[in-house]
Structures are given as C-alpha cells and as structure tokens.
C-alpha cells in the first residue's frame, strides 16, 4: 500500500516503500534498492502478482522506479518485468504530496501521467461498502456541508461522555476528529487531552542539529519546530489516551506509520501501547525513543535530529492520515477550506452514516448568501482522464442544495466525484 495505515488492513500488508525499498526522495530515474541476489529478489521471482492499494496517492516516479527495478531483476523488458500489477484506489481521494508544489506539479506527479498508465486496464468498483447501512450517505458525501457553532460542541458530539471512557479501546477506535493541517490537529489534541481524566505526563525530546558542533541554534528554537511526520518536543500523554504511530517500527506486528494505539503506560524510555487498528488489534507492544531526521522536503536550512517517542495524540488527526480508515463516529473541523485535491471527500467518506458525521466550518460565509459553505477541491484533469463523467445534475436533499461553479456548468458534465462544489445549508437545522 501507499500508506502505512492502509497496509495494516491487509493480512501481511506492507507499505510499497518498505517492501520494495523505494527511495524516500524518489526521482525520475530512481531504482529500488534491491540486489539481484537478495531474498527479496527471490521472493519477487516466485510472485505471480503484486497488489498495491491506495495507488493514486503515490508519486508516479515510485511506480516507475519499481517498473525499472523489476525489469532488471527479472531480465524481462515487459512492464514490471512481466509480473501482474494490480493497483487499487480512488482518484477522488488525496493525490501525491508535492511540498510547496503548484497544481501543475501535483497533477504531473500522479500515476495517470506516467508512461505506464496508457497500458493500464481500468475496472470500476461501484458499491460503497462503508455506507451499506445508510444508502443515502453515499449521496450525502457529494453534497457535503453544515455549519456548527463551537469547537467544544464538535468535541462533545464526537467524544460524548469522554470522562467515562478512560481505558476504553472500543470507544477510542471508533472516534476521531479530522482537519486539514497539523497545527489544528495539535490545537484540538491539546484541548481534548485536558478533558481526559488521569495523570498527565510530559515526555520531552532531545533536539540537535546535525553537524552543529558550535551550538549555533538555540534549544528553545529547535523545540518550537515540529516538521511534518515528527512527534512534538513536548509529548503530553495520559494512560488510556489514543496515539498515532509516526514511523514503520515493525510492519509484521502491525506497527506501521499511521497505526492508531492506546497508551497503557509510560516510562522514562519506553511507552506501553495497545494496537487499536488492523489485524493486530488488541496486541500490546513497547515503543522506545528513536531518532527522527528531517529531509530536504522539510524546508529547513539544516538537518534536525529529534530523539523522541514516535507517536503523537490521535483524538484529532490530519485528513491525509485518515485515508484508508473507517471511523464510525467522525468529526470534521474546517477552520479554513481544504487545500488539496480529494481532502474533503476523504474526510467525509471515513464515516459510515450521515447521523454519525459532525462538521464544523469556520470560514463558511459567502457575500449575499445565507448558510455555511466550504470548497471541495478536485483536479478535473485527473478525474476526466478516467472517463468517469455523468449528466449534470442539481440535487435537493434534506435541506442541502448543490451549487456548481459557472465554469463547470459550461462543460455540461461533471465527474462522479465532483470537480468543484459548494454546499449550502438552508435554514438552521441541528448539527448533523
């Protein structure tokens, strides 16, 4: 799979980068670090097919690197060395991350722009399995939207009677608040942990700059930095609080990047955790402090090394981290519009019904309009490349009205996933 959390949903699943040793900073001419004499090469030779889930969120260079490597290992110039490659995924969901990339760069990073795509046969899965108990929810996902009045109410609705569910793994695994940016994840987690009963422990990291023998950077400054994928300097935890793993520690044991955990205990150099998701749910493990190093994509003028437990609180998580998960009781916090393709769809489709999906929109007003609005960003170039188009429709459903952008109306069609949409809530109904 392209993500650690999605890999844990498959028996024996691994991330593609881990399984095939794809470079972290993959480029147009990259190869996988697989020796022809290695055990992995032997396994590949014995394999008849490869299943790669959540493929649309991977950079096309990663797929092309695997293609080149398999051709070399198998001494065969057929695509992927003659192996059957099965790619799964939904182009409505998030695309490859291109740090500070333009729309054109993000589109160019997609697998549909690869030279391998024209030889790919596309099959469509039509049934939304997550929404079987609420058939109207699949339609609701496309109409999005609602206004809410406070963060506290969103927290109460997503985590009702939180103080009564300390240590309750079945309660925690069914709930999370999703939001686009890490800064808002941190804000929500700080609020919720204060409502959580129990002794709070502050676990501090050791930070340094690689090669900084003269201590040019103040510790206070280094402590204030939390690059993407890093644990915070000050990790606040309580027994029974939900956590998210930030590194691939032991994929076979279910400890992958994105795995949700429950804190069962803490020590100076060890965390006692219970796995909440995947086939290893219920198993206990001990996590040590490990070193985290930034890469060029962090945008820092130096390499930051942080020794800290590879986890953070997961009452709230980013929308991108939620992809691949089912969250029966999901809250969605939008202090501002989503910033990436497919993010709104991913957030809304984590839930199982309209009744159990709560949404708080902060910047939801449009001049001359009543109600609350938010944008749904979808790159039509990606969806239209799938030839998935249907007649233009305007829906009315339970007080929601879909308003399509005028440029899209001129096209006279839209993708099943919607190219650009706004949702208007008419009247002042209760929170949904």
Q: Are residues 245 and 311 in the same domain?
A: yes
Q: Are residues 260 and 193 in the same domain?
A: yes
Q: Are residues 141 and 244 in the same domain?
A: no
How far, CA to CA in Å, does 292 sit from each of 189, 205, 220, 247, 332?
Answer: 21, 10, 18, 9, 29
pLDDT computed for residue 327 by the predictor: 92
Q: Which helix (H) or strand (E) holds 66?
A: helix 60-74
pLDDT computed for residue 284 by the predictor: 96
Question: What stretches of 259-373 adopt beta strand conformation (E)?
Answer: 260-266, 270-275, 284-288, 290-293, 304-308, 311-313, 316-318, 329-334, 357-361
pLDDT computed for residue 13 by the predictor: 74
Question: What range defines the domain where residue 83 resides?
Answer: 4-119
**Listed residue (332, 326, 313) closest to 155, CA to CA:** 332
pLDDT < 70 positions in the chain = 1-11, 126-149, 363-372, 384-432
Distance of CA 18 to the CA centre of its chain: 17
Beta-carbon neighbour count of residue 111 at 10 Å?
26
Q: Are residues 226 and 137 in the same domain?
A: no
pLDDT computed for residue 72 by the predictor: 93
Q: Within a domain: residue 262?
A: yes
Q: Are residues 212 and 301 in the same domain?
A: yes
Question: What stretches of 139-288 adopt beta strand conformation (E)?
Answer: 175-179, 200-204, 206-209, 234-238, 242-245, 260-266, 270-275, 284-288
Q: Are residues 193 and 291 in the same domain?
A: yes
Q: Are 278 and 8 in contact (CB under 8 A)?
A: yes
Q: Are residues 107 and 206 in the same domain?
A: no
pLDDT computed for residue 339 by the predictor: 86
Q: Are residues 309 and 344 in the same domain?
A: no
pLDDT computed for residue 6 by the predictor: 66
Instruction: Indicate the residue among 257, 285, 317 that finishes a domain.
Output: 317
**Listed residue (370, 382, 383) closest to 415, CA to CA:** 383
When divided into structural domains, the chain yields a total of 3
pLDDT computed for residue 402 by the predictor: 31
pLDDT computed for residue 158 by the predictor: 94
- Tokens at residue 322, please? 């939620």
């Amino acid at each position: 799979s392209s993500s650690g959390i999605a890999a844990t949903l498959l028996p024996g699943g691994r991330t593609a980068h881990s399984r095939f040793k794809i470079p972290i900073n993959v480029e147009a001419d990259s190869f996988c670090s697989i020796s022809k004499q290695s055990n992995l090469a032997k396994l590949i030779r014995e394999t008849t097919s490869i299943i790669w889930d959540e493929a649309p969120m991977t950079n096309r260079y990663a797929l092309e690197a695997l293609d080149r490597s398999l051709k070399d290992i198998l001494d065969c110039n057929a695509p992927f060395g003659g192996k059957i490659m099965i790619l799964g995924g939904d182009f409505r969901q998030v695309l490859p991350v291109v740090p500070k990339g333009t729309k054109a760069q993000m589109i160019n990073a997609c697998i549909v722009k690869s030279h391998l795509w024209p030889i790919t046969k596309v099959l469509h899965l039509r049934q939304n399995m997550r929404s079987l108990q609420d058939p109207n929810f699949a339609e609701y996902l496309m109409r999005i939207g609602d206004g809410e009045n406070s963060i506290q109410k969103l927290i109460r609705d997503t985590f009702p009677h939180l103080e009564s569910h300390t240590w309750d793994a079945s309660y925690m695994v069914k709930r999370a608040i999703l939001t686009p940016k890490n800064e808002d994840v941190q804000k929500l987690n700080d609020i919720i942990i204060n409502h959580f009963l129990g002794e709070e422990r502050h676990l501090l990291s050791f930070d340094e700059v690689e090669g900084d023998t003269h201590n040019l950077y103040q510790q206070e400054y280094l402590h204030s930095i939390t690059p993407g994928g890093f644990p915070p300097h000050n990790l606040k935890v309580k027994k029974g609080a939900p956590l998210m793993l930030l590194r691939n520690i032991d994929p076979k044991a279910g400890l992958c990047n994105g795995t949700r955990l429950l804190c069962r205990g803490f020590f100076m150099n060890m965390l006692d955790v219970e796995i909440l998701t995947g086939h290893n749910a219920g198993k206990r493990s001990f996590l040590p402090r490990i070193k985290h190093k930034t890469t060029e994509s962090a945008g820092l003028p130096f390499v930051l090394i942080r020794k800290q437990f590879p986890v953070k609180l997961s009452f709230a998580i980013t929308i991108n981290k939620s992809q691949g998960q089912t969250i029966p009781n999901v809250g969605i916090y939008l202090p501002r519009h989503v910033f990436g393709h497919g993010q709104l769809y991913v957030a809304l489709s984590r839930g199982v019904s309209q009744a159990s999906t709560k949404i708080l929109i902060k910047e939801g007003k449009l001049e001359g309009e009543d109600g609350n609005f938010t944008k749904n960003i979808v790159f039509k170039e990606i969806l239209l490349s799938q030839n998935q188009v249907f007649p233009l429709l305007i829906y009315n459903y339970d007080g929601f009205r879909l308003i399509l952008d005028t440029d899209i109306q001129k096209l006279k069609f839209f993708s099943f996933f919607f190219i650009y949409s706004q949702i208007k809530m008419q009247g002042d109904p209760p929170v949904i």
